[in-house]
Amino acid sequence: MVELALIFPIVVLLLVAVFDIGRGVYAYTSIANAARAGARVAAVNQLYPDVTDTQCAEDMPVEDTSAGGSPTWSARACAANAATSLGLSPSSVSVSYAAPSGTTLTCPAGPAPALPSANTPFHVGCIVSVKVSYSWAPITPLIGSLVGPITMSSTSQMPVERVFP
């Protein structure tokens, strides 16, 4: 009984730590998939929505041809929707465009405008970068006090496949 009393708390702590590590791996995998989903939408649709844009109508085409080619998917919203189990919001997703290194392509530096214009032209081959950030915290109080919250981030890059609209 004495040996069990001494070993049992250590075994329980290790078991709960394994669950916390599993939750951390799940969170990182979710934000990596979210970044990839957002980059895919941004590569097809160069719309840079503001934080209030929450549209990710996956049952509709990327652009609504009946509304003059207006976009129906938002890169930020689609990235946040890809990790709904984590409760991500579109504000935790950043989207930027840049020219590939060693090329003479003209791409907007940093975030793209609401829609491409003559001043900030897009070209097929510009690189879109989507970064998703998430603050993960262990659920075990003892491990949480030792480790504290960890900020995880994942970035996915893809070339622009077509110029929107």
pLDDT in tens, 11-20: 988 888 889 8
Comparing CA positions, the residue from 123, 130, 122 lying closest to residue 158 is: 130
- Residue 165: inside a domain, yes or no? no
The predicted model gives 91-102 an average pLDDT of 83
Q: Which pLDDT score is estimated for 155?
A: 93
Q: 102-111: which pairs have CB atoms within 8 A and are 24 or more residues apart?
A: 111/48
Instruction: Give the domain range for residue 143.
Output: 2-159
pTM: 0.77
- Residue 164: inside a domain, yes or no? no
- Residue 52: inside a domain, yes or no? yes
Beta 70-71 vs 63-64: how paired, if at all? Answer: antiparallel
The count of domains in the chain is: 1
Average pLDDT in the chain: 78
- Residue 149: inside a domain, yes or no? yes
- Residue 67: inside a domain, yes or no? yes
Give the whole-angstrom CA distance, residue 14 versus residue 107.
50
